[in-house]
């Protein structure tokens, strides 16, 4: 099986296409491939398939390193776009991808700079989803015995965003590990820790469900900015500083799609026997 190793701001991926090659991936195989000592090593595996819908160029699936399939990955979307272009599977600058829950549009701005239409953020509790009846006040609720204010949004996958005073001292591992599997979130949750520098600039660390803290999380950056704009804390164009680098997020507000702009990098190509 041929594959490419890629990354978006240090959030790394194994990218595979099942258009020209035939193989079977199981949860166990994905877990073995993700091992950084005995396998390829990655945060997520990205699988590109033929689309059954003529409106889309390809279908795009995401698997976390433990083999669980998830709905969305912003950094992965940029890498998939670059992969399709490098492998000659597309010869245009705009690509339409379907996912298991939504669709995304990708546009090449420059060689490694890619813009992704991430659709409109969804603040409905049932879409996040939340298992309990919780009243969201200004898109936020109290968790952990009402000691923690947490803002919730779906970017096609569930996000919990916590505003902090210091990004360096944020309890990412402790709070992230606790909340990702809390019963309130039936499909788990990604936990973002956001420090607002000014209305055009934030810092962010993200604990991704099933993975832990990563160098970057594209959908997490989108979620944090969406929360900030919805609460009138941020303007419509925001620079997001992540551990692995910077993204630009643009959102005009409700009834408009949100855009993510950032780099994607090809590391190497390889072959592996399964």
Task: For residue 79, indicate whether it is catalytic.
Answer: no
Residue in 79, 150, 160, 217 annotated catalytic: 217
Tokens of 165: 């005073």
- Please provide the DSSP assignment of 190-254 as one string: EEEEEEEEETTEEEEEEEETTTEE-S--HHHHHHHHHHHHHTTSS-SEEEEEETTEEEEEEE--T
- CB-based contacts of 171: which residues, under 8 Å, 6+ apart? none
Q: How far is CA 60 from CA 5, 204, 257, in A?
A: 16, 26, 19
Task: For residue 217, indicate whether it is catalytic.
Answer: yes
Q: How far is CA 7 from CA 31, 72, 101, 168, in A?
A: 18, 16, 23, 23
Is residue 150 within 8 Å of 140, Cβ to Cβ? yes
- Residue listed under structure tokens 């490098």: 86
DSSP-based three-state secondary structure for 173 = helix
Residue in 73, 150, 160, 222 annotated catalytic: 73
- Residue listed under structure tokens 């788990």: 188
Helix (H) or strand (E) holding 103: strand 103-108
Catalytic residue numbers read 73, 217
């Amino acid at each position: 099986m041929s594959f490419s190793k890629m990354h978006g701001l240090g959030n790394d991926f194994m990218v595979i296409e099942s258009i020209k090659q035939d193989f079977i991936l199981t949860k166990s195989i994905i877990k073995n491939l993700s091992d950084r000592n005995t396998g390829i090593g990655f945060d997520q595996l990205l699988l590109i398939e033929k689309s059954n819908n003529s409106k889309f160029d390809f279908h795009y699936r995401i698997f976390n390193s433990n083999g669980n399939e998830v709905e969305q990955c912003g950094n992965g979307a940029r890498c998939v776009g670059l992969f399709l272009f490098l492998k000659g599977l597309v010869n245009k600058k705009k690509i339409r991808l379907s996912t298991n829950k939504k669709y995304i549009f990708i546009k090449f701005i420059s060689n490694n700079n890619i813009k992704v239409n991430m659709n409109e953020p969804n603040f409905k509790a049932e879409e996040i989803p939340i298992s309990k009846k919780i009243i969201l006040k200004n898109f936020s609720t109290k968790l952990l015995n009402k000691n923690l204010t947490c803002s919730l949004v779906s970017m096609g996958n569930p996000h919990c965003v916590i505003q902090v005073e210091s990004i360096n001292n944020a309890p990412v591992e402790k709070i992230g590990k606790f909340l990702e599997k809390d019963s309130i979130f039936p499909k788990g949750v990604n936990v973002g820790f956001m420090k607002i520098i000014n209305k055009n600039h934030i810092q962010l660390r993200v604990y991704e469900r099933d993975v832990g803290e990563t160098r970057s999380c594209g959908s997490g950056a989108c979620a944090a900015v969406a929360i900030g704009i919805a609460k009138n804390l941020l303007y419509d164009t925001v620079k997001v500083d992540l551990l692995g680098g910077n993204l630009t997020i643009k959102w005009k507000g409700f009834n408009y799609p949100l855009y993510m702009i950032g780099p994607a990098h090809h590391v190497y190509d390889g072959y592996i026997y399964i």
